[in-house]
Amino acid sequence: MNATDLKYAGILSTRLERYSVKENAPYRANFRCPICGDSQKSKTKARGWILEKDNSAITYCHNCNASHGMRNFLKIVDHNLYNEYIIDTALDKKARRELFNPPKEDIKPLDKLIMKAPNFKKKGSPLLKINKISSLAHDHKAKLYVQSRQIPASTQYKLYYAPKFNEWVNSIIPGKLPTPRPPQRDGPRLVMPFIDKDGNLFGFNARSFSESSGLRYITIMIDEDMPKIFGLDTVNFKKKYYVIEGPIDSLFLPNAVAMAGADGNASGLEETHNAVFVFDNEPRNKEIVSRMSKCIDKGYNVCIWPENVLHKDINDVIMSGMTQEQLKRMIDEHTYRGLEGKLQLSYWKKC
Domain segments of the chain: what residues?
3-84, 127-226, 234-348
CATH fold of the domain at 234-348: Dna Topoisomerase Vi A Subunit; Chain: A, domain 2 (3.40.1360)
Question: Are 127-226 and 234-348 in the same CATH fold?
Answer: no
Give the pLDDT score at 212.
63
What mean pLDDT do residues 265-282 have?
89
User: What pLDDT does residue 115 have?
Assistant: 43
Higher pLDDT, residue 149 or 350: 149
Distance of CA 265 to the CA centre of its chain: 19
Alpha-carbon distance of 100 to 126, in angstroms, equals: 8
What's the whole-number average pLDDT of the chain? Answer: 86
Q: Please determine, for residue 32, whether its predicted confidence score (pLDDT) is greater than 70.
A: yes
Q: Which residue has the higher pLDDT, 126 or 25?
A: 126
Q: What is the pLDDT of residue 343?
A: 95
pLDDT at 281 over 70: yes
Q: State the DSSP code for 241.
A: E
Is it the case that residue 132 has pLDDT exceeding 80?
Answer: yes
Candidate from 65-79, 110-124, 258-272 with smallest mean pLDDT:
110-124
Is residue 265 very low, low, confident or very high in pLDDT (cuts 50, 70, 90)?
Answer: low
What is the band of 29 on the pLDDT scale with cuts at 50, 70, 90? very high
Best CA proximity match to 309, nearest among 288, 280, 335, 285:
280
220-262: per-residue pLDDT in tens?
Answer: 999 988 999 999 999 999 999 999 999 999 999 999 999 976 5
Percentage of the chain lying above the pLDDT 90 cut: 55
pLDDT average, residue stretch 330-343: 96
Selected residue with higher pLDDT from 121 and 229: 229
Asked whether the beta carbons of 112 and 23 are under 8 A apart, the reply is no
Q: What's phi and psi for 344, nearest 5 deg?
A: -65, -35
User: Does residue 31 have a pLDDT over 70?
Assistant: yes
* pLDDT surpassing 50 at residue 156: yes
CATH superfamily for 127-226 is DNA primase, catalytic core, N-terminal domain (3.90.980.10)
Tell me the three-class secondary structure of 52-105, residue by residue: EECCEEEEEECCCCCEEEHHHHHHHHCHHHHHHHHHHHHHHHHHHHCCCCCCHH
The CATH number of the domain covering residues in 3-84 = 3.90.580
